[in-house]
Amino acid sequence: MSTVKHRNKLYKLDVRRLSVLVLAFFASWLFTIPFEGKILYALLDYHQVPSQPFVLGSMAAHCAGLLLCGFLAKSMRSARRLMLISIVCCAVASAIFFFPPSGWWYAALFTSSLVAGFCVAIWGYFLKSGTPKNQRNKTVAEMLALSYILLLLLVKASTTVPVRAGVALAILPLGIMFMLCLRLPQHENVQDNQTAQPQDNHVSIEKPLLFLCLFIVVVAVNVGLMYQVQFPAFAHLQTLTSWYWAVPYIAGVLVVRYLPGRVKRTHILYSAIAMTGFSFIGFMLLDRSAPSYIFVHTLMFGAVGIFNLFWWTMLGEMLEFHWNPARIMGTGLFANVLGILLGELIAGVLESGRDYPSLLALAIVCVTLVMLPPLYARLTALLKTHEYLTEFSEKPLQERNRLISEAAVAGKLTARETEIASLLIQGRTYRMIALDLHISENTVRFHIKNIYSKYAVRNRAEFINAIMSERINSDI
């Protein structure tokens, strides 16, 4: 059993690290060309092409890709294949920008933005498979911080070379990402089996997910306003603005990541809401000097980092309650891009008055303050559904083995059923259990059906809940 546990731990470790690197490298390309990319803006300025149709069109295509991905990637194998194909499409589309402006530019940008949505949503599969449920905040924090570090390095490098050379540098992360993706697993390491269906968990996430998406949209509107209002106002500080924007974001992510467990996350979110408000107040009251820029953007980007880590982590936790991680991840990220797009459109409509967008941003801050308590209540209620599952996974191996043995006696499990139950609750799939015990998957399925029947449960989570409930009842 210890050998199986060690092998499973190494599997998770490898996939976790690979998943962090894969999305971090992809994000560094995404934010340099199709999604508000500095290289894209430089190309459009160089050729004197209006930027708004390209930027808004690419964001709309990215939204479509995020929503469509869940209907195309229905398993780990298909998700990995789609990601590899999408990377190649992104690289080919990026190469179109070596040539003079034409209709191909629109086709390349919108196509790459569409398939980029596939790649980001697909990441949900590898986050779920490679990172245990109670550690996904760590993986998300590392991914967000590393992606901005790589993005900062890439932007700095691309701005010191000619525009076309900058395009070549932007394509480089895609090549690295493709090589890393080849090492990603093709089989799932989920908590039940590869063919799990939505009804297996019997947990409804529609309302909590919808409420979380509404919160993401509202918060992201302020990010869109920032792009169109705050950024242009400090464009004359080119040297400072070329690198400082990433520093408070990375700091915000890492500070929250390493906060002691006793610090309530709701307090951090309220702090981020206050930081957003003070950022826009400072923007209205201060001049356009370097100290003002540092004050405004430290607060704004620090808040964005905190918010992003929060909702990315919440999406990661929700992956447990749906059979298709790409749909959950794609829906949440769609809400983020939609909010940014709405913010930019609103800023364009209100551009006649300098303070109007900032006043709107302050109104949105008030809305987020109202939304946060009910959102947190809904998420807490959802995530407590599997509290025994988290509690069990955190217990020492010896304690877990003792509980399994007691459960086997109480449930009158056979020796083979006890052995299979032990592997099942470690997160082994039916296929993995079959390989470990040198039996067929049908035999594994037969024994697990008997185990569930003896405990009157329907899935692994309910089985662990039953074990933990028996332990609590025996203690009483």
Whichever domain contains 426, its CATH number is 3.40.50.2300
What mean pLDDT is predicted for residues 85-94?
Answer: 95
Asked whether the CA dihedral 320, 321, 322, 325 is positive or negative, the reply is negative
Would 324 be classed as within a structural domain? Answer: yes
| Domain endpoint, select from 321, 338, 371 | 371
Same domain, 360 and 255: yes
What mean pLDDT is predicted for residues 106-114?
Answer: 93
Q: Report how many domains make up the chain.
A: 3
CA 439 – CA 446 distance, rounded (Å): 11
pLDDT band at residue 126 under the 50/70/90 scheme = very high
In angstroms, the first-to-last Cα distance of the chain is 30
What mean pLDDT is predicted for residues 198-223?
Answer: 79
Regarding predicted confidence, which is higher, 393 or 433? 433
Regarding predicted confidence, which is higher, 10 or 427? 427
Same domain, 329 and 463: no
Q: Which residues of 107-126 are buried (b: 16+ CB within 10 A; e: fewer)?
A: ebbbbbbbbbbbbbbbbbbb
Q: Which residues contact 286 (CB under 8 A, 6 or more apart)?
A: 292, 295, 296
CA 216 – CA 307 distance, rounded (Å): 8
Per-residue pLDDT for 215 more than 90? yes
Per-residue pLDDT for 173 more than 80? yes
Same domain, 269 and 328: yes
What mean pLDDT is predicted for residues 154-161?
Answer: 81
Task: Give the pLDDT confidence score for residue 72 in this predicted structure.
Answer: 93
Would 228 be classed as within a structural domain? Answer: yes
Same domain, 298 and 445: no
Would 387 be classed as within a structural domain? Answer: no
CATH number at residue 90: 1.20.1250.20
Q: What tokens does 227 get?
A: 């792009």
pLDDT (tens digit per residue) in 288-332: 999 999 999 999 999 999 999 999 999 998 887 888 999 999 999
Would 377 be classed as within a structural domain? Answer: no
Per-residue pLDDT for 473 more than 80? no
Regarding predicted confidence, which is higher, 380 or 183? 183
| Domain endpoint, select from 371, 406, 438 | 371
Same domain, 31 and 165: yes
Would 204 be classed as within a structural domain? Answer: no
Per-residue pLDDT for 381 more than 80? no
3-state helix, strand, coil in the chain (%, to 5): 80, 0, 20
Mind spelling out the 3-state secondary structure of 152-180?
Answer: HHHHHHHCCCCHHHHHHHHHHHHHHHHHH
Lowest-confidence segment of 129-133, 194-198, 200-204, 469-473 by average pLDDT: 194-198
Per-residue pLDDT for 285 more than 60? yes
The whole domain housing 231 covers: 209-371
Task: Give the pLDDT confidence score for residue 191 in this predicted structure.
Answer: 41
Same domain, 34 and 155: yes
Task: Give the pLDDT confidence score for residue 470 in this predicted structure.
Answer: 55
Lowest-confidence segment of 57-61, 114-118, 223-227, 351-355 by average pLDDT: 351-355
Same domain, 263 and 220: yes
Residue type, 57: G
Same domain, 168 and 236: no
Would 198 be classed as within a structural domain? Answer: no
295: exposed, middle or buried (Cβ count in 10 Å: 0-12, 13-18, 19+) = middle
| Domain endpoint, select from 118, 150, 185 | 185
CA 415 – CA 40 distance, rounded (Å): 63
| Token pair 């801050």 in the structure block, residue | 365
pLDDT (tens digit per residue) in 16-30: 899 999 999 999 999
Would 203 be classed as within a structural domain? Answer: no
Q: What tokens does 401 get?
A: 């083995």
Regarding predicted confidence, which is higher, 122 or 6? 122
Would 7 be classed as within a structural domain? Answer: no
254: exposed, middle or buried (Cβ count in 10 Å: 0-12, 13-18, 19+) = middle
Task: Give the pLDDT confidence score for residue 5 in this predicted structure.
Answer: 47
What mean pLDDT is predicted for residues 429-439?
Answer: 85
Task: Give the pLDDT confidence score for residue 261 in this predicted structure.
Answer: 64
pLDDT (tens digit per residue) in 387-425: 444 555 556 666 666 777 776 666 678 888 888 888 887
Task: Give the pLDDT confidence score for residue 476 in this predicted structure.
Answer: 37
pLDDT band at residue 192 under the 50/70/90 scheme = very low
What mean pLDDT is predicted for residues 447-471?
Answer: 76
CB 58 within 8 A of CB 322: no
pLDDT (tens digit per residue) in 225-258: 888 888 888 989 988 888 898 999 999 999 988 8
Same domain, 159 and 269: no
What mean pLDDT is predicted for residues 180-208?
Answer: 62
Backbone phi, psi, residue 90, to 5°: -65, -40
Same domain, 223 and 353: yes
Task: Give the pLDDT confidence score for residue 194 in this predicted structure.
Answer: 38
Distances from the Cα of 139 to the Cαs of 17, 105, 129, in angstroms? 8, 35, 12
Q: What tokens does 428 get?
A: 């082994």
What average pLDDT does the chain have?
83
